[in-house]
């Protein structure tokens, strides 16, 4: 036990204490942390002793040989660090440092020497016996260490008015996407966001604090922008919404790219699998000890630490959230951070897909790089914006299902409902898509924020600037509690928030941007007007169509005199086979048509695509990178019919 303590347990404890996200990423509970520590200090020696007892069945000499072998190996592991330290002092590191193989050989020789001394000299055995309390000291110090202790013995704040909390964090969602020309929610296009706004307080001038999800989301949950380089984990940022509500609420969280919920406290993490989870942690702990003992040039042979640990899964969690909502005696916190309406934009308002895109594929018109920028071609960026708005409409549909479920189980009226986004997204040709700059700050900064207090039945709109860091103190005040640490945010309840003269957004790859609130607001209005010119509002028709390319033609028959067509166009449509066998039940419908133009095209010419005898889209022709001119068109799903569909192409008249 002493040798395991010095060779395995203590090196692992030291590394884990300096890497507190070890337990957060594994969703370990306080019980699991204690069991892990006991397994490292007591369990491993017990397992080795069990092997010796089995070996004794073959004879006492066999068991003794195995015992000495264990002593030699553990002594060698402990000695490896000493050999490296002595070699570093003697040779000064660098090219004169000893080879890892020489260090390993030296450690093995020392291990064998200690095993022989152990077998021959009572003094050595007595010395190890005297050291028996040391592993227990290692255990206690590890469990009361600050990062570990916060998992084992978390804080216990109290809220005076506990109520169910439903918190939705959207991703890449500028609030302008929801607005009409009067800066109200576009109720025809997004009826469910409008319903929520009628019951909630809409902080219409809310801005994010960062363009990076792993900073913006923790800022929402902690009330302060985290320092650069801080991991988005409960261990590194233990003072957050989850730890505040852990004792008063049952926590159910679906996180993406963060692990802010305290280990083992959210959902069903670890239920029914405690031995397996503890064993996995012990395996990782032994691996850490091996890395700590290995010479640097031999460490790559051990593989990478933490392989397979993921910060989150980019999924659409609405189904799981809706299914888990039910009225309970103890209030619950239902928290979901979802990649909606985040790219890839592949959903129609109905929820059906029109393109199966891998999450890391780049949208058309997008330039890859350290700072990802849009292509200067305005049409390609414009169509990406169109696709984003279609996905916002899908998000509205899912929000409607959630609100219906809350009402059906009797939770809506008594719940605190929060809907917010981490940051926005920009659709400016030549500009970064999500890295904030002085030119696109109005697109990245402004995000939706709706807060419906328990028993609130009348909505309100607040235009005094607010920040996403204000959300945590607002939630706590509504629940009759407070945030017991100093934060940047301030509560928005019961009074008009104090104006902020300027807004600062930090960036993951570019310098932070600071702008006056008044200037940012003016540029926001200009950007909203630009979007409405392009795509209109719900009042402009039943479909979300491009308003600058003959929107009045969409859905009309070819023989309609208001449709002025020219001659037929020679094109190759890449989705022709999909159009021949459309099945809505499959969940995939070809509402995005792409292809090549097979003839010479004058500059500025527009292509008319018809579907089953009706105009489906009017689009410009683009000299797309290299090769023949290309086109890309999105058309209303309602124009598709089951089975075979006929597509024809014409030039505008």
Q: What does the pLDDT look like over 406-415, one tens digit per residue?
A: 999 999 999 9
Average pLDDT over residues 217-232: 95
Cα–Cα distance for residue pair 475/201, rounded to 1 Å = 13
- Quote the tokens at residue 649: 């192409």
**Nearest-angstrom CA–CA distance, 180 and 191:** 12
Q: Do 373 and 291 touch, CB atoms closer than 8 A?
A: no
The runs of H, that is alpha helices, within 309-459 are 318-324, 378-408, 441-445
d(CA 615, CA 550): 10
Taking CA atoms, 143 is separated from 29, 77, 265, 423, in Å, by 13, 24, 18, 38
Confidence grade of residue 88 (pLDDT, cut at 50, 70, 90): low
pLDDT tier at 325, thresholds 50, 70, 90:
confident
The β-bridge partners of 634 are 592
pLDDT at 127 over 90: no
Pairing, β 165-170 against β 416-421: parallel
The yes-or-no verdict on residue 522 having pLDDT over 60 is yes
Residue that wins the pLDDT comparison between 412 and 270 = 412
Report the alpha-carbon distance of residue 583 to residue 606 in Å, rounded: 30
The pairing of strands 565-568 and 647-652 is antiparallel
Domain range 165-259+311-535, CATH architecture? 3-Layer(aba) Sandwich (3.40)
How many other C-beta atoms lie within 10 A of the C-beta of residue 539? Answer: 11
Predicted local distance difference test score (pLDDT) of residue 315: 43
In angstroms, how far is the first alpha carbon of the chain from the final one? 88
pTM for the model stands at: 0.72
Strand partners, 207: 446, 467
| CA proximity to 216, closest of 249, 177, 173 | 173
| Section 531-555 average pLDDT | 91
Please write the tens of the pLDDT for every residue from 359-389. 334 455 555 556 778 888 788 889 999 999 9
Please provide residue 547's backbone torsions phi and psi, each rounded to the nearest 5 degrees. Answer: -85, -5
Read off the pLDDT of residues 449-469 as tens digits, 9 standing for 90 and up: 999 999 999 999 999 899 999
Longest distance between any two alpha carbons in the chain, whole Å: 108
Burial string for 378-397 (b: 16+ CB within 10 Å, else e) reads: bbbbbbbbbbbbbbbbbbbb
Query: What's the rounded Cα separation, in Å, for the pair 362 and 378?
Result: 16
Between β-strands 165-170 and 332-337, what pairing exists: parallel, antiparallel or unpaired?
A: parallel
pLDDT for residue 329? 84
* Ranges in the chain annotated CATH 3.40.720.10: 165-259+311-535
Q: Cα(461)–Cα(463) distance, rounded to whole angstroms?
A: 7
């Amino acid at each position: 036990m002493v040798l395991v303590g010095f060779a395995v347990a203590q090196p692992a404890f030291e590394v884990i204490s300096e890497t507190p996200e070890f337990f957060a990423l594994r969703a370990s509970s306080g019980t699991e942390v204690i069991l892990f520590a006991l397994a490292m200090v007591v369990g491993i020696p017990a397992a080795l002793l069990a092997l010796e007892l089995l070996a004794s069945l073959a004879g006492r000499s066999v068991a003794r040989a195995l015992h000495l072998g264990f002593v030699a190996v553990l002594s060698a592991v402990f000695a490896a660090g000493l050999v490296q330290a002595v070699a570093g002092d003697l040779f000064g590191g660098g090219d004169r440092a000893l080879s890892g193989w020489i260090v390993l050989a030296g450690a093995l020789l020392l291990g064998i020497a200690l095993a022989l001394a152990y077998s021959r000299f009572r003094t050595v055995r007595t010395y190890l016996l005297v050291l028996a309390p040391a592993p227990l000291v290692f255990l206690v110090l590890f469990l009361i260490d600050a990062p570990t202790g916060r998992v084992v013995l978390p804080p216990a704040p109290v809220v005076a008015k506990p109520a169910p909390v439903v918190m939705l964090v959207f991703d890449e969602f500028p609030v302008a996407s929801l607005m009409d020309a009067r800066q109200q929610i576009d109720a025809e296009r997004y009826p469910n966001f409008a319903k929520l706004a009628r019951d909630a307080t809409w902080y219409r001038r809310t801005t994010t604090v960062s363009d990076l999800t792993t900073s913006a989301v923790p800022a929402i949950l902690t009330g302060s922008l985290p320092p650069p380089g801080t991991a988005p984990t409960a261990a590194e940022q233990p003072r957050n919404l989850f730890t505040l509500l852990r004792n008063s609420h049952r926590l159910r969280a679906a996180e993406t790219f963060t692990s802010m919920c305290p280990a083992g406290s959210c959902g069903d993490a670890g239920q029914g699998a405690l031995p397996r989870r503890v064993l996995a942690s012990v395996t990782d702990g032994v691996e850490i000890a091996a890395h700590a003992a290995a010479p640097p040039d031999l460490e790559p042979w051990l593989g990478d630490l933490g392989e397979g640990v993921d910060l989150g899964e980019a999924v659409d969690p609405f189904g799981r959230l809706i299914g888990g909502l039910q009225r309970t005696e103890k209030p619950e916190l239902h928290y979901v951070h979802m990649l909606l309406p985040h790219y890839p934009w592949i959903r129609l308002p109905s929820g059906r897909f029109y393109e199966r895109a891998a999450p890391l594929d780049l949208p058309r018109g997008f330039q890859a790089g350290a700072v990802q920028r849009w292509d200067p071609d305005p049409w390609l960026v414009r169509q990406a914006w169109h696709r984003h708005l279609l996905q916002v409409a899908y998000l509205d549909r899912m929000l409607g299902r959630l609100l219906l479920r809350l009402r059906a189980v009797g939770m809506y009226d008594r719940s605190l409902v929060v809907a917010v986004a981490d940051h926005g997204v920009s659709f400016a040709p030549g500009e970064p898509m999500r890295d904030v700059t002085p030119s696109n700050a109005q697109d990245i900064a402004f995000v939706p924020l709706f807060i419906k207090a328990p028993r609130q039945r009348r909505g309100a709109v607040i235009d005094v600037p607010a920040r996403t860091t204000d959300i945590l103190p607002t939630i706590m005040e509504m629940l009759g509690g407070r945030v017991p640490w100093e934060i940047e945010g301030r509560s928005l309840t019961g009074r008009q928030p104090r104006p902020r003269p300027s807004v600062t957004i930090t960036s993951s790859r570019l310098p932070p941007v600071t702008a006056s609130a008044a200037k940012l607001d003016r540029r926001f209005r200009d950007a909203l007007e630009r979007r409405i010119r392009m795509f209109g509002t719900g009042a402009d028709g039943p479909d979300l169509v491009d308003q600058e390319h003959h929107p009045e033609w969409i859905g009309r028959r070819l023989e309609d005199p208001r449709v002025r067509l020219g001659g037929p166009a020679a094109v190759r449509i890449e989705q022709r086979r999909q159009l021949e066998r459309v099945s809505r039940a499959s969940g995939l419908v070809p509402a995005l048509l792409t292809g090549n133009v097979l003839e010479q095209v004058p500059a500025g010419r527009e292509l008319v695509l018809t579907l089953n005898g009706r105009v489906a889209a009017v689009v410009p022709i683009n000299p797309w990178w290299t090769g023949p001119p290309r086109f890309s068109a999105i058309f209303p799903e309602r124009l598709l019919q089951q089975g075979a569909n006929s597509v024809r192409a014409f030039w505008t008249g």
